[in-house]
Structure 1
Amino acid sequence: MDRRSLITGYLLVAAGSALFASKAIFIKLAYLERSDALLILAWRMVFALPVFIAVGAFELARRGREGKPMPRRDALLGAVGIGLIGYYLAMILDFTGLLYVTAQLERLALFTYPIFLIFIGAAFFGMRLTASSLAAAFISYLGLAVVFVSDFSGGGSNVTLGTVLVLGSAVSFAVYQLMAKRYIGEMGSALFTSVALSAAAVTTLLHVFIVRGHLDTSMSAHYFLLAAGTGLLATVIPSFFVNAGMGRIGAASTAMISNVSPLLTIYFAVALLEEEFTLPHAIGTALVVGGVGYHTWRDIGKPVRRGG
């Protein structure tokens, strides 16, 4: 691969990671006008859903033109079910958690999902626990505990509730990652993501209409800009950027670059939300990023097993 393509790949992944990191900032700014997790989540999906439907339709049409077999019904239903676990449930827990914790603590808690993936994979999917993965887990959760204790002194039980909710979101996303692989192999990542996210979006909107009877439209134009930013800039565009970049530089380099995402969230939180960044925050962040980074480095360094 030529040098220009590699540079483009690194820039795409870096830009995608930066945009993903902005999600909590958009949400926190929206909460200044309306502290309603379900409302901002619903409007996020309103802006994102048309794009994912369009991408899904394009992928199905492309398969038809190229004479490729259409996904089995079981695969489509599997993608829908996994989307409800990995996106609908995870998003509700995450957005609600952000009502109670800082953007910094939310991002660090959410960033630990690869560690949950290790333990869930070992318990239910036959994955093997190693000393390095246990060490990574210890380092990461030690760092999260440092930030949690620091924030707890100012927020009390609300911080506990918010942290538990965001960690629940991380667990949901870890389960999604473990279950999605078999369907991505059959459907392709673009079609699978479109189906999973579309299912999560439709379910979220149904949730709103069932619980409240309508979707509130009384917010300011500024609120709708933040909702559009959450749906497009922090969801749709980075998804395509990271996937395009991964196609150029590979999953290993993508995983390593993505490790800077929490640092960017913290920078945005301090610069735009004026959140405090103290010595315990610095120590905790270093431990969490270091633990997950160490796990990523060890994981991508494993020799690839080839079938005989």
Structure 2
Amino acid sequence: MPTKPALTPPAVRPLALAGIVLAIAGAGFFATKGIVIKLALAEGIDSVTTLTWRMIVAVPIFVAVGIIYYRRQLTTAPTGTRTRLTLGSLLQVLGVGVLGYYVASFLDFQALEYITAQLDRLILLTYPFFVVLLGAIFFRRKITVQMVTALVLSYVGIALIFAHDLTIEGEDVLLGSLLVFGAALAYAVYQLLAKPLIDRMGPQLFTSIAMSGAGPAVIIHFLLTHPMSDLAVSGNGFALMLAIGTMSTVVPAYCISGAIGLIGPERTAIIGNISPLVTVALAIFILGEPFTIWHAAGTALVVFGVWLFTRKQKPKTKVLEEVTSA
């Protein structure tokens, strides 16, 4: 009687492997934002100038991609699925973009003038909890025991790091933490308002229009608070300005978009949870930030709490947020 050939595990499909690589790259590049801002501060470039340069570099790229995408889908997409912009939807996206890319980003960038990149990233990571709380208040969405447990774990972790840093840095830690909590709250409101618009027109077109609204708001803020000469940076400063617009903004956006297309939103979201760990590692080795037992315990609690929170949640929203992240 002939024997059956031994079964061998299927090889990882090249496209799936490419998707995993893109998801890891997107999470890693996204994690560099706080590091680049800190390095810019060390060069004497304040957070508003850095945010302005981010828009100067990134907005033209996003807008060009959005125009190409919109024209292509008008000509190639089936008639019933084509997205046609109206004045109303355009104004909505522009307004939401100001909230997510200007207000939330400004508060986050400002916070980094007062607190470590580690604490900033971990606090900002908890914005999904604000989404749930706002959903419960305004839309009567259900809050489960799992959500409450995840929230408590994450904020206990933040409290450990906050208490440790407060004893060393003093009131600056309190101010910086309040700023980044404000950024997280603004970003949560942004997500609630952005999701139906993203579902309607897709992340590429939404991001292009949203950035187009936030860009002028950021530049106006800069002109009202800074002389134009502050944009004149050179050497390391100029390299950092290019990095914040490309490596920390444009590159991760398209890496994550590509990953979603290749491996789906769920696997991309799970891989994306490495982002805060990358920030912590970079902050220690590049910025020389302290990492004590309190930081280790706090980081572990926050990451576990966020993982617990998203474990049985639909990850699509979370991934789209990374694509259009502040």
Range of TM-score over shorter length: over 0.9
Contact kept? 1:208, 1:215, Cα under 8 Å = no
Alignment of 1:281-300 (within 5 A): 281-300=295-314
Distance in 2 separating the partners of 1:189 and 1:163: 30
Choose from 8, 17, 31 the match for 1:7.
17
Go from structure 1 to structure 2 and tell me whether the alpha carbon gap of 1:290 and 1:205 turns closer, same or farther (over 3 Å shift): same
2:208 is the counterpart of 1:194? yes
Distance in 2 separating the partners of 1:203 and 1:226: 22
How far off is 1:75 after superposition?
Answer: 1.2
Distance in 2 separating the partners of 1:35 and 1:123: 40
2:291 counterpart SS class:
coil
Distance in 1 separating the partners of 2:73 and 2:41: 42
1:34 counterpart SS class:
coil
Contact kept? 1:16, 1:238, Cα under 8 Å = yes
1:299 counterpart SS class:
coil
Output one character per residue of 1:95-144: Cα deviation in whole Å (capped at 9) or x when no partner: 00000000100110111111111111111233211111111100001100
How far off is 1:44 after superposition?
Answer: 1.1
1:62 aligned partner, one-letter code: R
Partner of 1:306: none
Distance in 1 separating the partners of 2:13 and 2:88: 42
Give the root-mean-square deviation of aligned CA atoms.
1.6
2:188 is the counterpart of 1:174? yes
2:84 counterpart SS class:
coil
> Any gaps of 5 or more consecutive residues in structure 2?
1-11, 316-326
- Structure 1 length normalisation: TM-score? 0.94
Alignment of 1:105-184 (within 5 A): 105-184=119-198
Output one character per residue of 1:201-241: Cα deviation in whole Å (capped at 9) or x when no partner: 22101221233352523322210110111110000010000
How far off is 1:69 after superposition?
Answer: 4.5
Partner of 2:46: 36
Partner of 1:214: 228
Output one character per residue of 1:236-279: Cα deviation in whole Å (capped at 9) or x when no partner: 01000001101122221111111111110010000000111000
Partner of 2:59: 49
Partner of 2:277: 263
Distance in 2 separating the partners of 1:76 and 1:187: 11
Contact kept? 1:87, 1:197, Cα under 8 Å = yes
1:47 aligned partner, one-letter code: V
> Any gaps of 5 or more consecutive residues in structure 1?
302-308
Q: How many residues get paired?
A: 301
Bigger Cα Rg = 2
How far off is 1:178 after superposition?
Answer: 1.2
Choose from 205, 227, 243 the match for 2:241.
227
1:254 counterpart SS class:
helix
Contact kept? 2:49, 2:231, Cα under 8 Å = no
Contact kept? 2:83, 2:201, Cα under 8 Å = no
